[in-house]
Structure 1
Amino acid sequence: MVKNLKKQLICTIITIFSTLFSYAQIIDLNRENPYKKVFVDTDNFGASYLDILEVALPKIKTDSIKFSVLNDLAYYWHTRNLNKALSLTIQGLKITKQKKDTLWHGKFQITQGAILLRMEKLDSAFFVLQEAKSKVRKQDLPKLNTELGYVFERRGLIGKAADYALESLRLGEELQDKRAIAMAYSDLSNLFWKQSKFDKGLEYGLKSVALFEEVGINDLDYDFTLYVVGNNYLALKKEEEALKYYKHAIAIGERYGFYNNLSDIYISLTDLNAYLNEFEQAALAGENAIKYANLLDNNFMLMRAWLSLGNAQNLEGKYLSAIESLQNSIRIATVDFGDNYYLSQAYNSLGRAHAGNHDYQEAYAAFAQYDLLQSKVFTAEADERISQLQTKFEVAQKENTIKLQETEIKKQKLRETLIFVISVMLFIVLSLIYFAYQNIRKKRILLQQQNKEKEFLLKEIHHRVKNNLEIVSSLLALQSAQITDEKMVSLMLHSQNRVHSMSMIHQKLYQRNNLSKVEMKDYFVNLSQYVLDSFGNDNRISLKVDMEPLEVDIDMAIPLGLIVNELLTNTMKYAFPNNKKGEILINLSNSNKNDYSLNFKDNGIGFVDNKASEGTGFGTQLINLLVSQLGGFIKKNNENGASISIQFSFEKTA
């Protein structure tokens, strides 16, 4: 007895200190930010966090902090007691109206809409939420649209609910609000699950979980998302994965007292255990679902809890118990229940229970209600379903085996007809695809032929241009042979080299597959060798083209070839007097897409001012004009010989 008293005393002391510690963590009026918002700024609290907020509320003097605490109290009480949550919300609406605080009045209306929705007052919830739209800030709209989506989901209008979820997603992305995006993904996951698109539902659910975990707060919506992911896994027959998510969701729900989520999860656990033929576990889960729904005083949860229990009893073969449970579910739903999806499931299960109990007339009536509700949710072909049920009812009533066989024969003929029609349509589609493919193939062959013809013509043009330039070069050579003036001979040689440098460009083009690009390294090597040969200096001058292979456009290659030709010519004439041996280095590179650098260096005597008068200056003028044409500039260096660097940017114009 004494030991028990000691244990109780220790537990009480621990609870008191834990509560005080949690209070200090959440509310501290001496801090600059006195309220660490629950599930946003901190999750360092236990199941008593609502009690902590209620104790602190009267002591808070600042309106904005008071409204924030009161709104959180109202919102999170709706996970435990809807009536108390509504009472707190009305208190907040009254105070904010007195203070003429429109923004906070709108926020309390969002909370009010969430509570009214769960109290089955869908029209009132819709009206309040619509009124709040013009009062709140843009960052509050994702949550408002989420609640509006729930209203239409509860009405069975899944398409309209999806529109609001997508609007929440758009706003979340625009505001870069990860939590809003996560919530939108969660809603879409749930809607896809209701539409039996489980792979898509799982995809969006896992996206939502990842974003919630990135934010790092285990709140009500994260808990709900775990449950939705579990539902999709269960529908895909991945029971172990589903159970893992359900257990995680239960742990959070029990820690914070999220009765609505706990009821949801136990409903799904009832379905899971029944599917695994663990009927005792299914019954316990169903009882827990009903318990939490009653604690919350939420007919929507209670209706679904009885539905899940009825489904489990159907699978176990306890049809009378199933009928009783399912009738409880339908009775709780009432006429203006709104959610045609779950109500249709209840009638479907009730029909199966009656059929299992050989009460086919009642089964027919239940299935008729199911089809009617399904047509509202999914626009299914209700008449065909009712006809099938009517046939089954008549067969069971009259025990007419012949009639059943005739029906099966008709179905078989219908299937055969359908298969034939599909086969014909498939043949037509495949034929069209084949003819389209043949047409495309013919066009492709024609285009290839045309391209080859154009490529041949271009190569022929480059070949003829090269030949014409070679003729000009030869004419210059013949002309120079008739001239005795050394200066004129030199000028003719220079002109001959310039023409040859251009002809080599066209020769490179028609010898390559690429008719618009010239590979400059090989071109510089050939051009340099030609110039050295023309001056008879190939043995005493060592030339190196130090660069990676680089392809450039023809509009850039021609001026570069002329520049290098002029530089080589000047070097041969002036850099190595008295048959002095020397070295020449050429390099072309590009640092990025359009920026290029041409570097030319020799180890000769360098730039000498008094030598400037020896030439005509035309070569230097030509180089400057060509560099200007390329949009570049020249840098000269006179250390250890002459060094010239040309920097330019080149972008081909249309």
Structure 2
Amino acid sequence: MFRNRFKIYFIFFLLLEAVSSNASTPFVNLRQVAVAEKNLLSQEENQEKAQTLLNLSSWYHYNNKPETIERKSLYFAYKALALSKKIKYDEGIAESYFKLSVILQKAKDYQKAKICAKEAVKRYTALNMQNQLGESWVMYWSTSFLTGTSYEDRIPLLENAASAFRKSGNKEREGDCYKENGDVYLLLGNAPEAIGSLKKALVLYNSALKGRRLSDKIYGVYDLLGSCYLYMGDHKTAIQYGLKAAYLGEKLDKISLYLCTVYNRIGLAYSEFQDYKNAQKYYFKSLTLAEWHNNDQAIRELTYNYADILLKQNQTAHALSFLNSMRKRHPKLYLTPYPSLECLYVEIYIRMKQYDKAKYYAKPIKEKVKGLKDYNDIMVAYSTIVKLSLIQKNYFDADIYSLRYDSMAKKLNNKQYLANSKFLKYSIDSAQGNTASAMDNYRKYVEYSKNLYDENKTKQINQLNILYETEKRNKNIMQLKNNSVIQKNKLRNASVFNNLMIVITISLLIIVMLLYRVYRLKQRTNKILSEQQEEINTKNKKLQNLVVEKEWLLKEIHHRVKNNLHMVVGLLASQSEFLKNKEAVQAINDSQNRIQTMSLIHQKLYQSENLSMINMPSYIFELTEYLKDSFDIRKSILFVVDIDNFDLPLSHSIPIGLIFNEAITNSIKYAFPNNRTGKIIISLKAKEEHKITLIIHDNGIGLPPEFDPYNNPSLGINLMKGLSEDIKGQFNITSDNGTKITLEFIFDETTNFLELWEKH
């Protein structure tokens, strides 16, 4: 977001630093300038006159309007260059070329500016003036950027600048070069190199810390590091660096546009981490700043991000209200050639089952997508049209846009898009009753998704390994440099000592020999210790690899179990289409819900870091949403959920999920006949002494008078009773202004662990 805008800003910032050392002039006001110009006529042609010409050029460059640059500023710079060449004043020649490159770049004559910058590099190299050489390399890099040089070819230019600044001891400017190269590496997709370069910049800035200006640079480095780790899929580290950047940015300037970018990236990291509440919080902060700056591009992108995060939290009405309010405040948002906001409207009205309104917003999408160049926007637009067409049973449009989606996916060779394309075809075939084709496309979708998941994880692991090796190599290089300095000091001391030995007695020679012997013994000892440490490190690394491999295998097992259960659900759904017996269809639907209950467990396990525990609030909430969608009762039945935040193992979470599924399903099906409205209260509480209580209470018609919970042929009742016994719980079902199901059981992590151990 805003990347090009910030890129130009940072180039200007580097150039501002580059010319600041040459910007100072002895002139305070225009009167002094006029006197200096008058005296030029009588002044001798020497180095002093050349310097006066350069000072006049700087004055007009920094203290006058742009049109003056092409006249007096250039005039005096060229005069200084001609005079310096005439009197063979090498420093004047070098400074004149540098000054001309700055002026010509500001005048947008980039080719001539590049030629002058290259000459300045050549002259300052011959003069061995390292700081000025570094600034000249920066100018050469800048003009190369503006004349279209590739990212790869620009990296060595800043490396040369960094080398010159390092030799001159200018750590701040060296850090600037590493920071910019880190940004370039990130644009090239080389996150490990970007991180290495940015961390070098961070070390240099910290060692050259001089207050607010460097704090500003450090906070930019933190933001870029967050972007690098986000690119690599390390969301936790990305969030940590993003929050560091936000903390520094708020201290420096709470309303800067760049802070708007920082907040947006933090929101994106939280969204990828599936922490939607915090993502919403930072998107809102970013949107507030974008509106304060009246930046249309930022407002449009953040409007999309904020509405999208609301939809991810199933806050459909809130998302619609937000989009409508933004439309009133910023009408220009919908006059752009991008259909992203219209796509959101279509998604919202589909969820609200207001298909005529969804169709209204689909019309401009079809028009705008014709002129789009951004393939991401194109693919979102195509998939939105297909989704709406399927709901309206407009299979002609669905086929056309799914074919376009598939064609673009093949052209881009993007596996995520190829997987989505198969899912779209599966949806179309399912809607038209083409069962064989639907199952084939669904199988391909699962296969693409699995391969994509495996590829992404492999890529992330490889990049993390590269980063680890890079940091290890850098540490080794630093250690070698330190050892080299120590060795040089020792050699210097040895040389002095040898000179002293000439005039000292033989006894000092014996002392030197003893010292040398101790030195050799120390070297052998260090070598032995180093070998032992290397052996320990190797064993630790093997153990770490075994642990990681075990975790990956467990995640893969849960992933495959979840996929297999989804396949079973799909097969049951296909089978139900051929059944005419309502009881058989109902039995299949009930089986689908039960399988989905278990599938959700395995999905959560492979998506979480803890492979043995399930977070109950998240699980119950998602299961509730699934049952709402399955029975299409979002408006008729109100769900009141009150769940304590705790985790349960697989041995307890599956029985509780199945009991929950049976209880909610029975309430939905039997508690509210004739489409009555009602309420279902769901409570899961962890009380004292490890007691956990699950209550599902509806305000429906209640149980029939002849109902006997202990002698009932119902499969659902018997299933709930049997599952309760599995976890040693007390199950009870009563009529209390409706039907009330209560399950109480004891869960003690230590006791349960011992029981599992004894079973094994």
Specify if TM > 0.5: no
TM-score, length basis structure 1: 0.38
TM-score, length basis structure 2: 0.34
**Is the radius of gyration larger for structure 1 or structure 2?**
1
Greater length-normalized contact order (CA 8 Å, ≥ 6 residues apart)? 1
Determine which structure has the larger helix proportion and give its number: 2
